[in-house]
Amino acid sequence: MSHLTSGLDSPRTGRRSAGPAWVAVLAACVGQFVVILDVSVINVALPSIRSGLGIGEASLQWVVNAYVITFAGFLLLGGRFSDLFGRKKVFLLGLGVFTAASLLGGLAQSPWMLIVARALQGIGAAVLSPATLTILTTTFPEGSGRVRAVAAWTAVGTGGGAAGGLIGGLLTDYLSWRWVLLINVPLGLVVIVASAVWLAENRSGDAAARRLDLPGAVLATLGVGSLAFGISQSETHGWSSARSFVPLLAGVIALLAFIAVERRAREPLTPLGIFRVRTVSVANVITVISGMAFYAMWYFLSLYMQNVLGYSAVETGLALLPHTASIILSAQFAPRIMRLVEGRVLLALAGLLTAAGFFWQSVMGADGTFLGTLLGPGIAFSFGAGLMMTLLAVFATSGVGPSESGLVAGLANTSRTMGGALGLSVLASVAASRTAGAGGGPEALAEGYGRAFLVSGVIIVVSMLAIVFLPKSRQTSQEVS
């Protein structure tokens, strides 16, 4: 972590010691790490959970979906909480709920108890995740300090997603499936105590005078949660099924009602004027589209390694370490490169590198090897993805005041989560249709996974078209310098 946070500027006050800044970065990174880790770590433990609690296949899917749906649904509200009630209070609240829910899930004695715990974990994560980014954007002004802090946040958070398979495999194989949840408890308690003592509060007087827009909060939560639920149902029932279509339609209606309410609210949850800030609106559009490919890449790589190449869960996690290292390195190089290259150009180059890596990875077969099939393309698209995610986070949180920093953090996290959920559903359908057409077997599976990476490359290229609408960001490059 010392390497990740090296070179950070002093916080906003300019006179404070580096200690509080280090604490802010450390707290934000650890918080984001556990949030992203719990999206992927549970997948490896699902077979053990099924046998340990006697869960049926339908209920087993809810162990995953309960977290994803509540996480997506409460992100906007969680982001606004940081603006209204202060980043420290909200960070501690989110981490406290997340830690308590992890304990409840780890001690669960029945399927329903585990599913409830996962839903509570998702709510805690939705409050916690935007607060982690808000901590950084309110501690560091726009410029080199913020870019380095966001780079560390991106690298550590993405590392949590990539390390989920390895950590989950080790804990499940050598301890118990319960430890994929219980591991959060000691980590959460340590961070809660340290943050309570060292993390400074930061809330503007303007935000302190506001009230919570309850109708907007309810409609936003219902709308995004319904969309997430509909997308999750489409993976098993198809897009035309009423189980998918009805919640998707309900989500759209709720969000349209949300927009109508926000237009008239005196103190809206999401002031619609925020979308007139082009860095915010365009960065979120790119985040949604590119997120469709980013979330799915870990999923299809894991399936290819285990279902085609015969890797164990632990071997799969180890094979993904170069990908994780590439993302961490690229996120750390981003601030240095931004001194030399204008932000839009760098984002376009990162997108092209990511797309090229996906196209390269699409050439996979049943006789693939780690060195010949996985390492080269994995380093390419992971390095590009790390750059993209860092740059998008910087763009998405630029051009707004401190009183809106929680809001834009919530928007960025919502865009990333919804894009990932949509992409996984769409690309899983693409892979399944190709596999079915190839007749089944390892070669057919490889063709299906390869087609998913091919489409992922196209998705990244499409997302890059929106870069032309970003404002010229030479100013950002100068601030980094």
> Domains of the chain: which residue ranges?
18-203, 213-268, 275-481
Q: With contact defined as beta carbons under 8 Å apart, do 254 and 223 qualify?
A: yes
- Which CATH superfamily is 275-481 part of? MFS general substrate transporter like domains (1.20.1250.20)
- Sequence-ordered strand ranges (E) for 41-161: none
Do the domains 275-481 and 18-203 match in fold?
yes
Distances (CA, A) of 78 to 45, 86, 232, 258: 28, 11, 22, 16
CATH number of 18-203: 1.20.1250.20
Q: With contact defined as beta carbons under 8 Å apart, do 157 and 29 qualify?
A: yes
Between the ranges 8-17, 331-340, 373-382, 472-481, where is the mean pLDDT highest?
373-382
Q: Which long-range contacts (CB under 8 A, 24 or more apart) does 101-108 make?
A: 102/38, 102/181, 102/182, 102/183, 102/184, 102/185, 102/188, 103/181, 103/182, 103/185, 105/181, 106/178, 106/179, 106/181, 106/182, 106/185, 107/178, 108/53
Collapsing DSSP to helix, strand or coil, 339 comes out as: coil
Give the pLDDT band (50/70/90) at residue 3. Answer: very low
Structure tokens at 203: 């809330």
DSSP calls for 413-441: HHHHHHHHHHHHHHHHHHHHHHHHHTTSS
Q: How far apart are CA 316 and CA 321, in angstroms?
A: 9
Give the pLDDT band (50/70/90) at residue 203. Answer: low
Give the pLDDT band (50/70/90) at residue 464. Answer: very high
State pLDDT tens for residues 313-326.
Answer: 788 878 888 988 89
Q: How far apart are CA 213 and CA 240, in angstroms?
A: 35
Collapsing DSSP to helix, strand or coil, 36 comes out as: helix
Residue 224 C-alpha from the chain's centroid: 15
Q: What integer is the mean pLDDT of 270-284? A: 85
Please report, for the chain, how many H helices and E strands are present, in that order. Answer: 18, 0
* pLDDT reported for residue 121: 94
Q: How far apart are CA 160 and CA 175, in angstroms?
A: 20
Collapsing DSSP to helix, strand or coil, 470 comes out as: coil
- Where is 387: in which H helix or E strand? helix 376-396
State pLDDT tens for residues 38-97.
Answer: 877 887 787 788 888 888 766 777 887 788 888 888 888 888 887 788 888 898 999 999
Question: Which residue in this structure is represented by tokens 């901590």?
Answer: 135
Question: Which residue in this structure is represented by tokens 């770590």?
Answer: 41
pLDDT at 114 > cutoff 50: yes
Phi–psi pair at 470, nearest 5 degrees: -75, 140
pLDDT at 237 > cutoff 80: no
Q: How many CB atoms lie within 10 A of CB 58?
A: 8
H helical segments located in 306-342:
313-319, 321-338
Q: How far apart are CA 481 and CA 472, in angstroms?
A: 16
Between the ranges 238-242, 308-312, 346-350, 441-445, where is the mean pLDDT highest?
346-350
Q: How far apart are CA 93 and CA 79, in angstroms?
A: 13
pLDDT at 246 > cutoff 50: yes
Q: How far apart are CA 109 and CA 209, in angstroms?
A: 45
Distances (CA, A) of 118 to 39, 42, 71, 121: 10, 10, 10, 5
State pLDDT tens for residues 448-461.
Answer: 899 999 999 999 99
The mean of the pLDDT values for the chain is: 82
Q: What share of the chain is helix, strand, coil (3-state, %, to 5)?
A: 80, 0, 20
* pLDDT reported for residue 461: 95
The closest alpha carbon to 83, from 197, 194, 205, belongs to 205
Q: How far apart are CA 239 and CA 231, in angstroms?
A: 8
